Structure 1
Amino acid sequence: MTTDQPHANAMLDEAWDLSPAVALRPEPFGAMAYHFGNREPHLPQAQRLVDVVRGLSGHPDVRGALEAAGIRELTGPATSPPCRGLPPPT
């Protein structure tokens, strides 16, 4: 898995999980993610992104969740529309 972005490289080795404040509901186009705190729905339309998010808790790092979802090459996750603006986990 490769990327040109230092922050993205660091993210790959971090353990992430879906926030308890977020529900992920299956939809024909992928899923609907709903944040109960700010009441904002998000519609990730790439099934592989949904698979990665669902798999985060089952892997020691983001890299493992990506690989389990069949993503071997990474070409800029920190700048892709679904990931833009996501803060690093706390």
Structure 2
Amino acid sequence: MSAPTSNPTSGGRAPAAGVRFDTPETGATSPGDQGFDALAAWELNPKVALRPEPFGALLYHFGTRKLSFLKNLTVVGIVQSLADHDSAEAALASAGITPAQRPLYVQALTTLADSGMITRRAA
């Protein structure tokens, strides 16, 4: 498994651990106000389309019209596998994420949750 390839930068964008947002804020309330909990069950938001690309993937949210780029194939795999696991923590373990790598991937998932790209699964 590879480690995330980008570092956070300033300028109003949130590129945490291979996640880059290139669209301006729409003024809508954040769908991720629920907070990210790695022990909870998560899934790709049903309003989000994921399109694999050679660099990673494009995520498009049909509700907010937000476009996101995942520039890390491991993050793409984790996002795609979230629905198959009881928790985000289980998805990270299944992807072979080490304890040293875990904070970067949790940060990426937190960013995706805060933007509404992934949502908690109903119990």
TM-score range, shorter chain: 0.7 to 0.9
Aligned match of 2:91: 65
| In 2, Cα distance between equivalents of 1:14 and 1:59 | 10
Count of aligned pairs: 79
**Are 2:103 and 1:75 aligned?**
yes
User: Structure 1: which 5+ runs fail to align?
Assistant: 1-9
Deviation readout 1:20-74 (Å, 9 max, x if unpaired): 0001101000000010111111001011110110000000000111111121221
The TM-score, its normalising length taken from structure 2, stands at 0.56
**Are 2:45 and 1:19 aligned?**
yes
The within-5 A match list for 1:1-90 is 11-73=37-99, 74-76=102-104, 77-78=106-107, 80=108, 83-84=110-111, 86-87=113-114, 89=120
Q: RMSD of aligned C-alpha atoms?
A: 2.2
The TM-score, its normalising length taken from structure 1, stands at 0.74
Percent identity between the two aligned chains: 35
Moved over 4 A (4+): none
| In 1, Cα distance between equivalents of 2:50 and 2:91 | 16
